[in-house]
Structure 1
Amino acid sequence: MLNNYQSSGYPLWSNGPTPGGFYNFTGGQQTHKLPSELVTEGPYGTKRNTSSITTGSSVLGIRFDEGVMIAADTLVSYGSLARYQDIHRVFKINNNIILGGSGDFADIQSIKRNIDQKMIEDQYYDDQITMKPKELSSWLTRVLYGRRSRMNPLYIDVVVGGVDKQGVPFLGNVDLRGRAYEDYVVATGFARHLALPLVRERKPADRDFTAQEASDLIRKCMEVLYYRDTRNMSKYTVGVCTTSNCLVEGPYNVNENWTFAANIKGY
């Protein structure tokens, strides 16, 4: 049957798409292209990254009764090479917001520049209105979903935290596809598997964490991540945001103890 169709003189795949191209539906001869401002032509055509290059690992955020804490180690890896060992991935955005980023560090820098520019634009209005953490999280979902829809995503996974004007803490996560959620504990990378259970099993049933409890959990979780995640290191920074202050502290060092290594056999 296929041979009969080909011998009749009709092309087998008339007006079909080229690999990676747009469909031209029957009856239309127009070739669809992306707007020129979305395409960067190189000597061999358009080329975009399809994977992360220099990457930061886990970010952990915990909400407590007076604010939020976000922690991340200071290592940015080049593949499996521990290349940059003093890079801060937790940032103060304004007096209400802190942000932690994992994934491709160049993309983290890119979105951080865009956020800083937005903060400057907001200041131009001089209307005494500042961005709140929930607003920034919502804005990030639109930006990241827009990039994903143009097949040119930012390879990042961010944790947004802070307090609003009424002093209510907010903690949320936005990934590279624009998906978002909020909770009393959020994490990216291996911390989703290693740190979230540690925090959830210690959550009091009838109240939020206190600041001291959240700080102790951050310290314990960063220690576990250092031991168990090969892309983590012993130094980390912690962003703390409350109604009275918003700052990034550190770097701190985990309490290393390798005496148990003598009992490990078979490697």
Structure 2
Amino acid sequence: MNHLPEAWGRPRDDIYGAYDHQYVSASNPNQHTTSPVVTGTSVVALKYNGGVVIAADNLASYGSLARFTNVERLKQVGSHTVVGASGDVSDMQFLFDEQLEQLIISEEYQNDGHHLRAKHIYSYLSRVMYHRRSKFNPLWNVLLVAGWDDGKPFLASTDLLGTTFSGPALASGFGAHLAIPLLRRVCPDEAAVANITREQAISVIEECMKVLFYRDARSMNKYSMSIISGEGDKVEIEHRKDIQLKQQSWKFAESIRGYGAQVV
């Protein structure tokens, strides 16, 4: 027998000939990704009186390396919905470019005047995520679905386990720890949405993106924002690309004892 570590228990090739791997190929289990490599971080969203604001930065990190700096993680789906994704970028592209794109093509092909609203998109995505989880091959993403449904703003989330929930203020990734307290300061519950204006919602989201840039090592100072506003059945989606944060000067650190080459 061949007792070398790479071929324990197999017959020796020099005596019995080359080993035929076809005998064992059928019994090998399927293996799936359990540790995403290229990932995106937080998505932040907030309802206001008349719509929803959602934002995500444009960085895709290769491990801890800030590798890709122009990856948009927000996608408009149909005429009523914007989906934001954090987590594995390849799984996000599969959802955006194949699953959702094909869904919209199939729906619009009917040409019956009916359009998928935010709740329909969310229901579809939650079932896709749960289906993949049940096959032990999950899509490693957390999705935020923002849009307009039945004459009011809609915001909900689903993750790689198919867990579903909704709320007036949601965030994924590191934003679930840093941005949620800032969002709940102005929107503690669903009743507070009626008192939040469009300008206030945009200002709070901008503040969240600034905090995440300074505190999340996997974020950057360039991000995208979508503003979904509606009135009755009329919906308008404004998408702002490549928004640049106004960075704070770090010159104050020179006066801090222990910073840099100082003589104490």
TM-score tier by shorter-chain length is 0.7 to 0.9
Relative to the length of structure 1, the TM-score reads 0.80
Cα RMSD, aligned residues only: 2.0
1:75 corresponds to 2:59: yes
Work out whether residues 90 and 248 of structure 1, in 8 Å CA contact, stay in contact via their aligned partners in 2: no
1:78–1:130 distance in 2 versus 1, CA, 3 Å: same
1:251 corresponds to 2:242: yes
Relative to the length of structure 2, the TM-score reads 0.80
2:253 paired residue among 255, 258, 261 = 261
Partners in 2 of 1:127 and 1:44 — Cα distance?
A: 48
Aligned pairs, number? 226
2:201 alignment partner in structure 1:
214
1:151 alignment partner in structure 2:
136
1:133 paired residue among 108, 114, 118 = 118
1:233 alignment partner in structure 2:
220
What amino acid is the match of 2:251?
T
Partners in 1 of 2:142 and 2:255 — Cα distance?
A: 37
- CA deviations on 1:137-157 (whole Å, 9 max, x unpaired) are 111111101100110000000
1:223 corresponds to 2:215: no
Work out whether residues 225 and 232 of structure 1, in 8 Å CA contact, stay in contact via their aligned partners in 2: yes
Partners in 1 of 2:125 and 2:61 — Cα distance?
A: 25
2:167 alignment partner in structure 1:
183
User: Quick check: which one's helix share is greater?
Assistant: 2
Deviates more, 1:128-137 or 1:215-224: 128-137
Partners in 1 of 2:223 and 2:253 — Cα distance?
A: 23
Q: Which runs of 4+ in 1 moved over 2 A?
A: 41-47, 202-208, 258-267
1:48 paired residue among 7, 32, 39 = 32
2:146 alignment partner in structure 1:
161
- Partner of 1:245: helix, strand, or coil? strand
- CA deviations on 1:109-137 (whole Å, 9 max, x unpaired) are 10112011000000122221111111111
1:46–1:139 distance in 2 versus 1, CA, 3 Å: same
- Partner of 1:236: helix, strand, or coil? strand
1:227–1:119 distance in 2 versus 1, CA, 3 Å: same
Partners in 2 of 1:66 and 1:96 — Cα distance?
A: 13
2:156 alignment partner in structure 1:
172
1:45–1:217 distance in 2 versus 1, CA, 3 Å: same
- Partner of 2:186: helix, strand, or coil? coil
Partners in 1 of 2:203 and 2:147 — Cα distance?
A: 19
Deviation at residue 262 of structure 1 after TM alignment: 3.0
Percent sequence identity over aligned pairs: 37
Unaligned runs of 5+ in 1: 1-40
